[in-house]
Amino acid sequence: MGVKQMPENEQDNPRNAQSVLMTATACFAGALVPGLGHALLRKWDRSVVFFGAISIMFALGLRLQAKLFGPDFADFFGVLKFLGDAGSGLMYWFCWLQGLGTGNAAAYSYDFGNLFVYTAGLLNMLVIIDTFDIALGRKH
């Protein structure tokens, strides 16, 4: 009574395979562009807000003369800085390859700019986790 009938072999269920593929695609898209994963899951309001907020935060960070740390694995904190920056996805890679975000450590706004860029990347990581939960049906 009230117990949901499960298929005999869940891996053979085409809906299950489709769900896994959709989850992976949405998470990957969200990692590339903030909010794109939610857009694929038709969560338009979240998608727009996440894209807007994270993009503004990243752009403001660059405007405040932040430095975009490259993939330098020489020291531990360098790795953390890189991960924080690169969490923003394609925005980071595009700007980094264009040579933007060279940073000016003498500027008053340098630390604030770095904080904005790190936070944009870390927020996008949270957004990807949210995409994962929604795609799996844990959240609506």
Chain residues binding another protein by CB under 8 A are 45-46, 49-50, 53-54, 56-57, 60, 115-116, 119, 123, 126-127, 130, 140
> How far is the CA of 38 from the CAs of 42, 64, 67, in angstroms?
6, 29, 29
User: Residue 57 or residue 91: which is nearer to another protein going by CB?
Assistant: 57
Q: Which residue has the tokens 């695609």?
A: 25
CB of residue 110 to another protein, shortest distance in Å:
15
**Would you say 113 and 63 are in contact if contact means Cβ atoms under 8 Å apart?**
yes
CB of residue 11 to another protein, shortest distance in Å:
31
User: Residue 78 or residue 110: which is nearer to another protein going by CB?
Assistant: 110
CB of residue 131 to another protein, shortest distance in Å:
10
CB of residue 100 to another protein, shortest distance in Å:
20
> How far is the CA of 48 from the CAs of 7, 56, 80, 86, in angstroms?
37, 12, 28, 20
User: Residue 54 or residue 68: which is nearer to another protein going by CB?
Assistant: 54
Cβ atoms within 10 A of the Cβ of 28, count?
Answer: 14
